[in-house]
Structure 1
Amino acid sequence: MTTPTILLPGDAVPAEALPSATSAPLRLGPGTRLFHETKYPSSPHTVTATHAGLLSTDAKRNTVSVLSFPNRRYIPTVNDLVIAQVQRSSQDYHHCILTPHAPLAVLGQLAFEGATKKTRPAFKPGDLVYARVLSVGVGAGTEVELTCVNPATGKADPGGLGPLQGGMVFDVSTGLAARLMKASTSGVVLLDELGAKLEKTGGFEIAIGRNGKVWVDCSGGGELAIRITVAIGRCLREMDEKDLTPKEQRKLVTRMLREMHVDV
């Protein structure tokens, strides 16, 4: 088994650990930054870590990122997907909460697919929105800006960006949020197992925010939907508290659905 690589802020990503694909440019994921190094002309660029965490590479997508440790405070990074709560609205912006300890982020009134002054979504304080971090600014006093469209296409890419209606939100650590979003490479089978078990009940929708928020909405309604939603939330909480193997995750799903009297 390969020993995981742990990086601290400012550490350079080892060159031998970078994906070796030559047909596509290297993509930098969360927790990484490209620096221009003038001391070593033979290696003019260095990928460094912006926070402490585990090095993660995806050879298929030619991507490198640093997965944060479970209890790390969320720091917005461009292109992060987040679940924001609208605190208030002004003429041009919705002012949103990403985390309780951080300044409000701004979301443009027209930053939605096909939005015009007449068709833009109307939010009330407390409403939720699934958005992407567009910019974080530089220096003190700068605001984090969010968007619900791809700036290049004007489309809600990936699908699901925009208002989140109904459902429930569960708080998880930023570390678990990152693992859930990289389930295929981080040993997480929890969501796939839940999807397979709950398929005949209509399944569920889920949105994962890098700011440690998970939104879950079950199809249909009534008491069964509530029990399923609570079961998913309890699975997430126990997964967050314990370092479960894939086999243990599958057992957790079976046990939690049984305890919540969900017939699968």
Structure 2
Amino acid sequence: MADHVGDASKIVYMPGDFVENVKVSEKTSKAILGPGLKQDGDTVMVTKPGLLRHKEPNIYWIDCHSRRYVPVRGESVIGIVCAKAGDVFRVDIGGSEQASLSYLSFESATKRNRPDVKVGDIVYAKLLVANKDMEPELVCIDSTGRSSGMGVIGRNGGFLYKCSLNLIRKILSTNCPLLSRLGKQIPFETTVGMNGLIYVRARTTVQTITIINAIAASEYMDNDQIISMCKKLADTFTMVQ
């Protein structure tokens, strides 16, 4: 869940608590439950400590400060290729177990036209399978067979930064000005994974480190503080140039 939409609860929920204002039915679900929540009969139980978040019309999840990623089907993640076993790559995405990535899960890949993927490469992919009873499975193509920006990244330099899952959701929120403000002052490219990994590449090493430091510093800032920080960075680079 990327957007913090609606009035967020100020109550800190703990595992085992029940959420009274979220109703579900065993026959017809009235609410869509995200990370940190699970259905228990007709009630909703909390499985992670944190704040209850809501996105219209009926999506709920718990916003917690966590670094351990729990795979969710459909989410885009960044992983590191750790090994190759036959026709399958093993990819570390920060979960409890490695994910599998078939060589056929790339655009235009065939048995003769295999993708150029090596152990140690960074890949941007989407979770096709995420089930507690099965190992995660990744793909680097969308429903039409196109890569849509997915695949091997980072071979032209750049920096891979690991942060909390909370910060990922914050910077991807539609009302967070961080990336758009930074992009107006410093040209850079970034790839953000929902598993707490961010790849950044700017024109110079100094600019890349500056972007990473700004992202890290923004975790506990409000929007006004983020805008002020971006302005100071812009003024600094103007003076240097």
- What TM-score, normalized to structure 1? 0.72
SS of aligned partner of 1:184: coil
Structure 1 residues 124 and 97: CA distance shift in structure 2, 3 A: same
Equivalent residue for 2:35, pick from 19, 30, 35: 30
Please report how far the alpha carbon of residue 256 of structure 1 lies from its aligned counterpart in structure 2 after TM superposition: 3.5
Looking at structure 2, the residues matched to 16 and 119 of structure 1 have their Cα atoms a distance apart, in angstroms, of 50
Amino acid of the structure 1 residue aligned with 2:48: H
What's the counterpart of residue 161 of structure 1? 150
Find the aligned partners of 1:160 and 1:29 in 2 and give their Cα distance. Answer: 26
Aligned in 2, Cα 1:108/1:180: closer, same or farther, shift over 3 Å? same
Conserved? CA contact 1:239–1:249, under 8 Å: yes
Corresponding residue of 2:27: none
Residues in 1 aligned to 2:59 and 2:222: alpha-carbon distance in whole angstroms: 24
Instruction: List alignment gaps of at least 5 residues for structure 1.
Output: 19-24, 38-43
SS in 1 for 2:104: coil
Does residue 54 of structure 1 match 2:45? no
The 3-state SS of whatever aligns with 2:174 is helix
Q: Does 1:175 align with 2:166?
A: yes
- Over the aligned positions, Cα root-mean-square deviation in angstroms equals 3.0
Check conservation: 2:12, 2:49, Cα contact below 8 A.
yes
Q: Is contact 2:67-2:163 (8 Å) kept? A: no
- 1:4 corresponding residue in structure 2: 10
Q: Does 1:148 align with 2:137?
A: no
SS in 1 for 2:70: coil
| Equivalent-residue separation in structure 2 for 1:124 and 1:262 (angstroms) | 42
Q: Does 1:103 align with 2:97?
A: yes
* Map of 1:248 onto structure 2: 225
* C-alpha contact (below 8 Å) 1:78/1:135 kept by paired residues: yes
- The count of corresponding residues between Structure 1 and Structure 2 is 228
1:55 aligns to what SS in structure 2?
strand
Q: Provide closer, same or farther for how the CA distance between residues 134 and 32 of structure 1 changes in structure 2, counting only shifts above 3 A.
A: farther
Equivalent pair of 2:8/2:54 in contact (CA under 8 Å): no
Aligned pairs for 1:53-202 (under 5 A) are 53-59=50-56, 62-69=58-65, 71-99=66-94, 102-139=96-133, 142-150=134-142, 152-156=143-147, 159-165=148-154, 166=156, 167-181=158-172, 183-184=173-174, 188-198=176-186
Would the aligned equivalents of 1:172 and 1:236 in 2 still touch at CA under 8 Å? no
Matched-pair identity in % = 28
CA deviations on 1:169-221 (whole Å, 9 max, x unpaired) are 1121121112222x225xx32112112323xxxx3221111221101123xx4
Residues in 1 aligned to 2:131 and 2:80: alpha-carbon distance in whole angstroms: 20
Does the 8 Å CA contact 1:30/1:80 hold for their aligned counterparts?
A: no
| Post-superposition offset of 1:261 | 6.3
**Structure with the bigger percentage of strand:** 2
Q: Cα distance 1:254–1:53, how it changes in 2: closer, same or farther (>3 A)?
A: same
Q: 1:94 corresponds to which letter in structure 2?
A: F
| 1:228 shift after superposition | 2.0
Letter aligned with residue 53 of structure 2: S
